[in-house]
Structure 1
Amino acid sequence: MKITDSNQIATYYKALVNKDERFVGIFFVGVKTTSIFCIANCRARKPKLENVVFYSTFKEALNEGFRPCKICKPTQNANQAPKEIEKAIELVKVNPKEKISDYCLKENGISAKVVRQWFKKHYGMTFHAYQRLYRINTAFQELKQGKPTTQTAFEMGYESLSGFGYTFKKTMGKSPMSSKEKATILMSRLTTPLGAMFVCATEKGICLLEFSDRKMLETEFADLQKRQNAVILTGENRHITQAKKELEEYFEGKRTNFEVALDPVGTDFQKSVWEGLHQIEYGKTRSYQEQSEHLGNPKAIRAIASANGMNKISIIIPCHRVIGKDGKLTGYGGGLERKKWLLLHENKYNPNKENQKEPSLF
């Protein structure tokens, strides 16, 4: 949202002038005189206070007509964890069985307030909730390896089995004993020029790739766990590593096709629709009508459009390449501004551009 509180504006402007990295990703500042927006540590010349407006997300700045600064690259760099946040995360990883208190953060030169704000904004949870999840994830992996529940509970710092069992069930959906038979879905976070994304993978391949601010993201996570009889844990496997590399190449304009293995979760009809999306070439678009005709079901436009909307693997399964019959952009889970950006990006780097008509929506 647009920041209107005068005290908050004063704090943010001071951080902007001082290039305070602790505020990177906390606010975005639009400069009225240039129509660009930046992040806190931008190296560009600082505007006057009366010429700036602050937003809590870069999407709001984009929607207000501001363009990303070419110096600080706000849509990409704002989503990278600042050094202070990385240090806090490292404390959790090094001490997975201990609670990192606000006092502990302070002792390590970390602002608890900044950590709380960053986690709430970028993970949708508090830092302490993140810690609990990490501890339970660690406990789950130990239980899967055959470690006794009692030993695991007390090593994790719980004073009673009932307390451990309650927290475990609330997080995983099942008791420690029942969860041993569950599969595992690994989840990691990555930054892109369009914002942070979450990527999930099973042993077979990528099963989710979504922007972190996508609506109903938690519902998608819950659906994945239910359909796969699995739990989502923070981590990375070969599929996630490959996906990150290929996405980096895609955003650099060096890759037009993805090769990473996929493991989409959906009905047979949905999977057939998603397979059809793969057949829309890089740099090209197709209307919903054309897509339904291509799939041999010209009267199922609404059903096919609905299946497009249920796609959990954005970009790699290119649902952004489907547009309205009149050439206008239509619904996209990541937001129409991102859809437009992706199509412009692919049009720019399309190797067959000379032989292709310029898309009407541009």
Structure 2
Amino acid sequence: MTKEPDLFDLPDPQTLYTALQSRDPSYEGRAFVGVTTTGIFCRLTCPARKPLAQNCRWFGTVAECLDAGFRPCRRCHPIATQAEGDPAVQRLLAALEADPGRRWSEADVQAQGFDPSTIRRAFRRHFGMTFLEMARHARLRQGVTRLKTGDPVIEAQLDAGFDSASGFRQAFARLFGHAPKAMQGAAGLWADWIDSPLGGMIAVADSRSLHLLEFVGRKALPAELKRLSKGAGGRIGLGRTPAIDLTEAQLQPYFAGQSGGFSVPLTLHGTPFYRAVWQQLQRIPPGRTVSYGQLARELGRPTATRAEAQANGANQIAILVPCHRVIGADGSLTGYGGGLWRKQALIELETRIAGMA
């Protein structure tokens, strides 16, 4: 996967907020603001009323905004900056904006007079995702919003633009690991979305501690959520807890390159050996990387490299349990469930944080 331009190429948040307030045109197409209170992202030149600084998230590309769960502003049309020279993309974006709940198919794209494969390539080039993926994100986001307010599943499904309850449940289950009805009512654990410069993250917590923090694209996420759901008696709800709020609050200065420390209480689900590995990972300071062999030796288990690597891969609390700090003996990044481009970005960020200490 090719790494997209990211937040770390941008100025600091205060500089960006000043540019937003003055509608500085020099950032046109290079910086975007996501407003957490509305779920909308804008150009910095947007004429809309300016949000408070603490409600802003900063992004370098439209793809990052969409991945983080924000929808484009209807006043400043931020998506247009990425594809102004492509009439086909502009036409489909206009159609999506006019009817964000529509369930699009390749046949619909073809009916508009476009070759589906050409459109797939064009959208991936401009936004890092296909047109159909963009449309599906919009529908699912609407449905999740309705569910969080306590609306019945069928109303959320219709609001999200799915023409069948099974279609909505399938899409929802791919994200959360089980059907949406299982995420309403009294819950033992709560799940919610956290925005990050490297894409959306799912956090699961009880009132006191964090149980899971994963990037949405991680293949193991559905299985991890199913295991947590089983352990909670099927009671994982959609919503916030103080532990999720604290996680989000501490991730903000981390991604801003200001702090590498976390104090969020964690609940680690695994064998005693796995938990020992994860606790050792937390002792690796930001800016330092170790090999699998080094980590095994530091654990006092120098022959357990393979088992240690398995524990590392089974970690389900990204960043706070920093499995990304473990690399190959030859210095290669090796595997990372969130994607090697994210692993590289996290290591680069932490190198800068360590340099400021």
1:141-180 map, 5 Å? none
Task: Provide TM-score, normalisation by structure 2.
Answer: 0.57
Is residue 243 of structure 1 aligned with residue 247 of structure 2? yes
Partner deviation per Cα, 1:194-232 (whole Å, 9 max, x = no partner): 111111112231111111111132111111111332422
Q: Quick one: which amino acid aligns to residue 334 of structure 2?
A: T
1:113 to 2:102 alignment: yes
Is residue 313 from structure 1 mapped to residue 317 from structure 2 by the alignment?
A: yes
Distance in 2 of aligned mates of 1:260 and 1:282: 16
CA distance in 1, matches of 2:135, 2:223: 15
In the other structure, the counterpart of 1:211 is 215
AA at the equivalent of 1:251: F
On the 8 A contact 1:198/1:208 being kept in 2, the answer is yes
Note the residue ranges of structure 1 that are not aligned, 5 or more in a row: 3-27, 30-41, 46-69, 86-105, 140-151, 158-163, 354-362
Higher relative contact order (CA 8 A, sep 6+): 2
Which of 308, 311, 320 matches 1:304? Answer: 308
Superposition RMSD in Å: 4.6
1:29-84 Cα shifts (integer Å, max 9, x gaps): 9xxxxxxxxxxxx9349xxxxxxxxxxxxxxxxxxxxxxxx984345323342157
8 Å CA contact 1:206–1:240 kept in 2: the answer is yes
1:229 equivalent in alignment to 2:217: no
Aligned counterparts, 1:59-98, within 5 A:
72-74=60-62, 76-78=64-66, 79-83=68-72
Other-structure match for 2:331: 327
User: Which has the higher mean CA deviation after the structures are superposed, 272-281 or 230-239?
Assistant: 230-239
Where structure 2 has 5 or more consecutive residues not aligned to the other structure, the ranges are 6-26, 31-57, 75-94, 106-128, 158-164
1:194 lines up with 2:198 in the alignment: yes
Aligned position for 1:277: 281
Structure 1 residue aligned with 2:116: none
From the superposition, tell whether residues 233 and 291 of structure 1 become closer, same or farther in structure 2 (CA, over 3 Å). Answer: same
Pairwise CA distance, 1:128: 7.1
CA distance change for structure 1 residues 247 and 120 in 2, over 3 Å: closer, same or farther? farther
Work out the CA distance in 1 between the residues paired with 2:141 and 2:327. 40
Rounded to whole Å, the distance in 2 between the matches of 1:83 and 1:153 is 25
Shift of 1:239: 0.7
CA shift in 2, pair 1:122/1:304, >3 Å? farther
Partner of 1:43: 28
- Segments of 4+ in structure 1 off by > 6 A? 114-120, 122-126, 152-157, 170-174
Distance 1:223 1:253 in 2: 33
**Percent identity over the alignment?**
30
Larger Rg: 1
- Residues in 1 aligned to 2:146 and 2:59: alpha-carbon distance in whole angstroms: 35
The count of aligned residue pairs is 253
